[in-house]
Structure 1
């Protein structure tokens, strides 16, 4: 047995005398980096960024120890690093094996006051090496100032918080239902008049912002409104929303009003469901929206009821609604007039006219290219068929209804025909009834009077709208579109398309856009 013991001891002695895998030499100046400057995308003042990655390479054949790895501004930097799973701003003796690499994760939370006053850039450096001999990687972030609207909070004795909220009534068991929200004020001590949103800097909304009873929120052309997760805007009983966007002349959309999420990074620019909805509650009145784009909500606009008058409760002119995880425009017993309305990429429907109501849309493009077989462009129902939920009017003139699924329109009717009134005039409709399951359904008789002079796309080759790039929300129609020159001019008189182009005699085009020539 002794001889085996000696052999084992000798082997260990040889192995450990020859290995130098875990010897680390101090080294500076020999690192390589995945990038020499890390650009962290624009963030709002005092809102944290996404996490960005820098990869550091030891390109030598030796194990090294980086004497110092730190931010140029040290512990005072607004940037944060994660190195080998440890957070901080200053690190020492960071070990790297030969020909190995190291990931550094970078975040920032800064105030606009920290940035350069001329360009609003906040900068720093990551330093690698030792004093007087550092390799550097630059860090650059644009800090954008904003108006912040959020519910007030009060700290409780147990260190939890009670937030400002508004009542939504009671549930089926009689229990009160509330939502975290702040009521907009004309004399807010920080923001001033919160019922007038201007275009001097963006607005960032936390929770729901509420337009109080009898008040009007006015939004100027060019305003940018950003909603945090689980936030939105509520238009109360007898309150109004006036969005006064105008036609833009450049790709910057300088005059368009845009409602979207508060994540400014490019990877979030088209992500659905980032925030809640614009909610027009029962009794809201005289709502007029012009040149407005709504993006990345759960429901773009939720309309629950009407103001009881013969005038539309909600007037829409040049409206785009994209990337809603549920529905683009969801109305329940609503009263809506729409001209040049465009929807696309919505989880269930671009436009849903439910629980009856009164609707008229002209020269609108109701598209839906959401990647699911269960979505549609237009959904219409009258709930239980009673007079309370009667569909008194659903008129569509010179509109396109087209989806990536077979059926771009869907009806659910209850009760007598008198409680379900709809009319399509000179519309282009995709309806590919390949199995003839709707051939005898009276709701879908496209040769009947309910579909006057309509073009029906029974497959992708017939009556195609020739959209430019629908998956990217580009629903302009090309010169080969079935909608080109086939609109009824009587519905076009005195109107322009959504881009401000005149609709000219003797013919006009179906949908929200005049045809254009594109690559």
Structure 2
């Protein structure tokens, strides 16, 4: 920018008054012209921040206040105006001071060329407040208006007294739990809140009865892809043992528990049991609101007893070339298949309820292949599949709630499945080109129930207990090894009900 200079000179007395007045106007014009040229209003001229997320990593055990700061940089060669700095939420937990101005007075802040200034942010947290008033993770954004652009810094704080893992990072981080083949027990009565990705490697992680695990899912990036990073993952030598009881289950879900979020699907990624890990066991465990409930990869063994998986945006349970045994389990309100068993494996389900209502996919999908080059699938792998369902409900509002894909065209030994005393919904599956002998050879003593017949108590509220007129009542065969239902209620020893719940009369 070309700078104007003020030149000193002497004025003779006869013309001093006139010239002085003229000079005053020149000075005013010069100063106003300099003001216009010294500030940039280009939309391409913006500020930079020392952080993209300001993290308050202190865990409060009582009401307290803490202050953190970040810097705002002007990398431009001309001054810049930052207008209307504010918190996004009007009832924010945070207050700020921007370049010495309180948030009520920070209507316009000037940052000179190649200069910077500070923003101090204060948070006041009361961990004794209810979750609805002070959630596990408090999120906000500080907004800055710069030359027609809105820029922001994310602000996060811990709102409850809990075990945060990792303790000092926001979303996008990876926490490694490794104990040399030993065992770690999460027996603190306070809940556990997981940020980012928890990797369990060379360690047995035990969740005793009553453990509450909340996963803070969020959008993250590794510089190449954007993903939801709220994930529990086991490495090859990792193992999860969830030891809930009927009266005191283990609960694993998102960290948004306030009204309006308790039933929202897809808040975190889910539980992924990596290849060769385990064996894993989940008893009386409730898994809520992930993208995928549990994915159990190749060569894993998974035992599920009285496990509930609800509100997923993808599949509820995925098994890939592994072994799964599920007893008294409920998997429902899924955006994908309730259960998807791929690339072979050996699977047995007893008194299990699949309730896949509200989407176009089947409740159960089974196949014996893996596609290495989707979507073309010119290169596939094959493995034999064995799937057996006993006294179970495979339900939904589609015409077919079972899909069977056998890429070997029924080559012996590669696709073995049976349903014994089950309630199912099939239509196209029993056509001539598919499995016309399904009810004679594969689904013994099954009921192909009508969609509008009473079955469950209240699907709208995820209540999969049996209706008093349900076709599932008394239709099972005795299984002495399954004498209780998902809630610990005794089953009829002679004619148990089908599904995870035993009907309890009024």
TM over 0.5: same fold? Answer: yes
Q: 2 CA distance for matches of 1:512 and 1:117?
A: 37
2:127–2:161 CA contact under 8 A, matched in 1: no
Taking the TM superposition and a 5 Å limit, the aligned residue runs for 1:168-207 are 180-185=173-178, 195-207=184-196
- What TM-score do the two structures reach when normalised by structure 1? 0.62
Taking the TM superposition and a 5 Å limit, the aligned residue runs for 1:328-347 are 328-347=316-335
Taking the TM superposition and a 5 Å limit, the aligned residue runs for 1:44-443 are 79-80=93-94, 110-111=124-125, 114=126, 143-150=159-166, 180-185=173-178, 195-213=184-202, 215-229=203-217, 230-248=229-247, 255-307=248-300, 313-369=301-357, 371-373=358-360, 375-383=361-369, 389-415=382-408, 416-431=411-426, 433=427, 438-443=430-435
1:473 matched residue in structure 2: 462
Q: 2 CA distance for matches of 1:118 and 1:409?
A: 43
Q: CA RMSD in A?
A: 3.6
Offset from partner CA, 1:72-104 (integer Å, 9 cap, x none): xxxxx983489xxxx976589xxxxxxxxxxxx
Deviates more, 1:388-397 or 1:268-277: 388-397
Structure 1 outlier segments of 4+, above 2 Å:
77-82, 87-92, 108-111, 114-122, 150-153, 384-392, 441-447, 491-495
Q: 1 CA distance for matches of 2:130 and 2:316?
A: 40
Unaligned runs of 5+ in 1: 1-43, 47-76, 93-107, 123-141, 154-160, 164-178, 188-192, 249-254, 308-312
Q: 2 CA distance for matches of 1:444 and 1:401?
A: 19
Offset from partner CA, 1:156-183 (integer Å, 9 cap, x none): xxxxx9x9xxxxxxxxxxxxxxx84211
Q: 1 CA distance for matches of 2:480 and 2:433?
A: 31
- What TM-score do the two structures reach when normalised by structure 2? 0.64
1:151–1:207 CA contact under 8 A, matched in 2: no
SS at 2:260 equivalent: helix
Offset from partner CA, 1:429-483 (integer Å, 9 cap, x none): 022x2xx5751134363322211111112x324xx45201123211111221111
1:45–1:109 CA contact under 8 A, matched in 2: no
Deviation, 1:392, is 3.5
Offset from partner CA, 1:323-352 (integer Å, 9 cap, x none): 111110011112100001111111111110
2:132–2:257 CA contact under 8 A, matched in 1: no
Offset from partner CA, 1:218-256 (integer Å, 9 cap, x none): 0011111111112111111132110010011xxxxxx11
Aligned residues: 359
Q: 2 CA distance for matches of 1:284 and 1:364?
A: 24
Deviation, 1:366, is 1.0
Deviation, 1:390, is 2.5
Does residue 452 of the first structure (1) align with residue 444 of the second (2)? yes
